[in-house]
Structures are given as C-alpha cells and as structure tokens.
Amino acid sequence: MPKWKPDPTFYPSPQLASEAPPEELAYVALLNPTGKGRPDALGVVDVNPDSDTYAKLVGQVDMPQVGDELHHFGWNACSSHLCPWAPHAHVERRYLLIPGIHTSNINIVDTKPDPRNPKIVKVIEGAEVTEKTGYTAPHTVHCGPDGIYLSALGDSEGEGPGGILWLDHETFEIKGAWEKDHGPQYMSYDFGWHLGHDTIVSSEWGTPNMVTNGVDPELLLAGKYGNAIHVWDLRKREHVQRLELGPQYQMALEVRPARDPRKAYGFVGVVLSLEDLSASVWLWHLEGDNGEGQWKIRKVIDIPAEPAAPETLPPLLQGFGAVPPLVTDINLSLDDRLLYVSCWGTGELRQYDVTDPFNPVLTSSAHLGGIVRRTPHPGTPDVPRNGGPQMVEVSRDGKRVYVTNSLYSPWDAQFYPDGIDGWMTKLDVAEDGRMEVDPGFFFQSEEGMRPHQVRLQGGDASSDAFCFS
C-alpha cells in the first residue's frame, strides 16, 4: 500500500529548515497600479546564480480578473503540519493563495508539476468570502496546522471589525470567520502565532474605507489608525489582551513572532509617530508562566526622520520638512538572530542583531531609492531609483534577503507621485552578518507592473510555523 509521507519541504525545526537546499525560484506578486486594463499577475523569477536566466522573469500567470490589488499571499501548507495535533501531515506545500484587497477574490495557484509554469485552479469570489465570513479585503495568508488562515481588513461596508477567516486545507472551502469573540479588536492587518503557547498575535492598520483611497491626513493627525496589537487564545479562538502603544504611534503593521516555538516574544513594526515622524519597532513578550502570565509590549527600536528641503518632498510631507522612515515591513531570520527593517520613505534597509530581543543592535544598513535620496542600484550606478526597500523576504538559511519597492497603489501615489518604477533586488548576508546589495541581481518589472510580496520556492523565513525547536 502507498504510504502518506510529509512534504520534504516541511521541517521539524527552524534549524533543519535553515540547512535545506537554497531556493531556485521566487514567486512575486505583480500588480497593475491603475487597476484598469490588464490584470495583476504572479511572476516567477529565477534566483539561481548559476542560471543563464538569473534575476529574470521565467514564468507568469495573470489573474482572471482586473483590479485585484494583490498584496500578501502564502502557501497552503508548511512545517506547522508536523505538529502532533495537526490532522493534515500529508498535505503538500503546493498551492499559493493570492488574495486581492480591492476585489476580495482569493486566487488559488498550483505551482506543480512545473514550478515555472503555475496555473490558476480556483478562484473564490469576493462575494462568497463576504457571505460566509462577513469580511472583505483579505490581506495576509498563513498556513496553520488546522487550516489556512487569512486576515481581512474590514466588513461588507468597508468598516470594522476586520479579523481572520479560515479555509480547509484540502478543499479550500471557507470555514467561516475564525474568531468566536472579537473583544475590543476593530481594525485588522497582520497576524502570527506562537504555536508552543497556543497564541495568535494580530496587528492594526485601518479599515478598507480608511486605506483604499490613500492616507487620510485628518484621520492620521487625529490618531485614528491602528495603534495596538491583540493577543488571542489559539484553541479557544477568543480575544485575550489588547496591548496599546499610545495614540501618537500610528499603523502597527507587520508582526514577526520568534521562530523558535519555545520563545514567547515577537516584533511589530510601527510606521509613524505623530510627535516627530519617526518610526519604531516594538517587542511583545510574555511575563510569567504560560496560562497565567501577562503579555506586555515595549518599544525597542527608534528610527528618526531625516530633514529635507520642502521642494524635494511630495505634497503630503512638504509642511513637515522631513522624510519619515516609514517602516512598512520587518522580517526575522530563522535563527531569531537578525531582524530586517525596511524604511520605505528614506530608502534604507536596516539589519539589527536581536540575540537579546530587549536590546537590538544596529549591525548593517543599505540604501536603495528613497523619497529624496533616489539611491541607484550598484548594477546601474547612473540610474536613480525610486520607491525603496519595502517587502522583505529572508531565505531559510539567512544568507539572502529579497526586497521589492512598492507598498500599495493608493499610497505609492502619495509618497512617490512621479510613479514608482517597480523593482526587486537581493542582498547577500556574510558570515559576520554584514549585508551587501548583489550588483548582479536587479529585476525590473515591465509595462508598469510593480512587485510586492515575495515567496520562495520550498518556503522562506516568514512562511513557516514550527512546533518544535
């Protein structure tokens, strides 16, 4: 009789995942910023340095509808399926679930049998998503041990509460809204988990009506965007704690829990402080024993704004005379040692040693693009670049960091009104942790398309959850 065996890209621990063979392909969300004409697409980029097509697009599948606004997507299955209580250890890491913020459609793409030639096998229409969950604007996808989880920004009217919905691993049928008790949570954005502590942590951005037309200056200055994270009981599906940052801290976005499931801490990036336009990274952590402890949060990284002549700034910022860093993504290496922080406004990628998570140390930095700097890529030193490091993906072994330069179409237009020329590049990380931009890797998308989320073949640092260390 045939035997069910776990997918070889599932790893019992972060350590074993880091020893896996390097990725050869990257799957990249390519969005059409106009929302008209041609649809968004999933691109396949060759990331094998020994290949003749290195840093080139070697495959693409267009979405079946126009106007999705692809954002964050993820695998249907991952190492979380090796949890002892996971009922789906036989599922393959094969399908990519790709939601559209503006249509609420969820596009399901099969990457096999030919990884360079993915195929759309199912589309869950936005109307079905809303009917079965009450949510719209699905945003972030994570594979869990008991289902596929997606965050959603809002309700059927574009207001709140947003939350989390989940799908069956095998049929992709919507199981409904995940929460049994929302508690005080209203805005939604990202989420992650501590499987060893039966805990989910989620963050806040804004409702669809607050974000789809760009930053609303009145709401921003009034401190109405997200400024808290939420702790949930994973098994009971109930709200446990709200951890507030303070009203001056606006837009708590990407959450990155420690990769080691024994560790009860993680990081969240905050876009902006209304006091001085600085950005920050915060650490949440559990004090006390699991089941009786209290989750707490504290700021551990401050990144100041940079003075700039008003005439060099977009209209939204001219009155401030400074470029805000705009921390729009963070990512954590599988060994919990290095934290990468993208400063989309100043065009900088920062690397911190977070071996002591309460005291991060800045260890390396690289510039590309930026609202004012327009730093060129080293492979084309005479060509100024716009946008800046935005989405960050780290390879399993921590030796390669991939970045793209588009945030979100309505917001791109406000901060880079000349129009972002979409690109993706790679930084190499040396044994001592120092990073350097690869001069031979520069993928520039054509026809005005903009790269956003990156997922690596066989998994990456942020697409797996582990039950063991």
134-155 mean pLDDT = 97
- DSSP state, residue 176: E
Q: Beta strands of 50-179 (E only): which ranges?
A: 57-62, 74-75, 95-99, 106-110, 119-124, 135-144, 147-155, 163-167, 174-177
pLDDT band at 3 (very low <50, low <70, confident <90, very high): very low
25-30 mean pLDDT = 98
Each domain of the chain, given as residue ranges in start order, spans: 14-456
pLDDT tens digits, one per residue of 378-420: 999 999 999 999 999 999 999 999 999 999 999 999 999 999 9
Q: Tell me the backbone φ, ψ of residue 128, rounded to 5 degrees.
A: -70, -40
pLDDT the model gives residue 200: 97
Higher-scoring residue by pLDDT: 182, 99: 99
Place of tokens 């968004």: 40
167-187 mean pLDDT = 95
pLDDT the model gives residue 459: 95
Cβ-based neighbour number of residue 384 at 10 Å:
13
pLDDT band at 447 (very low <50, low <70, confident <90, very high): confident
Most confident of 88-92, 268-272, 429-433: 268-272
pLDDT band at 377 (very low <50, low <70, confident <90, very high): very high
Token pair of 464, please? Answer: 């797996």
**Cα distances (angstroms) measured from residue 350 to each of 123, 146, 346, 375, 427:** 37, 35, 11, 15, 12
Distance of CA 121 to the CA centre of its chain: 24
420-439 mean pLDDT = 95
- The residue type found at 46 is D
**For residue 353, is it left (φ>0), alpha (ψ between -120 and 50) or beta?**
beta
Identify the CATH assignment for 14-456 out of 1.10.3720.10, 2.130.10.10, 3.40.50.360, 3.30.530.20: 2.130.10.10
Cβ-based neighbour number of residue 378 at 10 Å:
15
Question: Mean pLDDT for the chain?
Answer: 95
CA distance 76 to 55: 26
Query: How many distinct helices (H) and strands (E) make up the chain?
Result: 5, 30
Q: Answer whether 320's CB lies under 8 Å from 307's CB.
A: no
pLDDT band at 1 (very low <50, low <70, confident <90, very high): very low
Is the pLDDT assigned to residue 277 strictly greater than 60? yes
Q: Please, what is the end-to-end C-alpha distance for the chain in angstroms?
A: 32
184-192 mean pLDDT = 97
168-174 mean pLDDT = 94
pLDDT band at 454 (very low <50, low <70, confident <90, very high): very high
Cβ-based neighbour number of residue 291 at 10 Å:
7
CA distance 198 to 216: 36
- DSSP state, residue 181: B
pLDDT tens digits, one per residue of 322-361: 999 999 999 999 999 999 999 999 999 999 999 999 999 9
| % of the chain surpassing 90 pLDDT | 91
Q: Tell me the backbone φ, ψ of residue 412, rounded to 5 degrees.
A: -50, -45
432-445 mean pLDDT = 95
**Cα distances (angstroms) measured from residue 425 to each of 8, 57, 74, 391:** 28, 13, 20, 11
Q: Answer whether 277's CB lies under 8 Å from 320's CB.
A: yes
Q: Give the three-state DSSP class for 385.
A: coil
Starting at the edge strand found earlier in the chain, the sheet holding 400-404 runs 392-394, 400-404, 423-429, 435-444
187-203 mean pLDDT = 96
Is the pLDDT assigned to residue 300 strictly greater than 90? yes
* Range scoring the smallest mean pLDDT among 81-95, 259-273, 363-377: 81-95
Beta strand 106-110 with 95-99 is: antiparallel
Burial 90-108 (b: 16+ CB within 10 A, else e): ebbbbbbbbbbbbbbbbbb
CA distance 26 to 39: 20
Burial of 188: CB neighbours in 10 Å, binned 0-12, 13-18, 19+: buried
pLDDT the model gives residue 173: 97
Is the pLDDT assigned to residue 321 strictly greater than 90? yes
Is the pLDDT assigned to residue 86 strictly greater than 80? no
Q: Give the three-state DSSP class for 100.
A: strand
432-449 mean pLDDT = 93
CA distance 247 to 241: 17
Q: Where are the alpha helices (DSSP H) in 92-223?
A: 126-133, 208-211, 217-221
Higher-scoring residue by pLDDT: 108, 4: 108
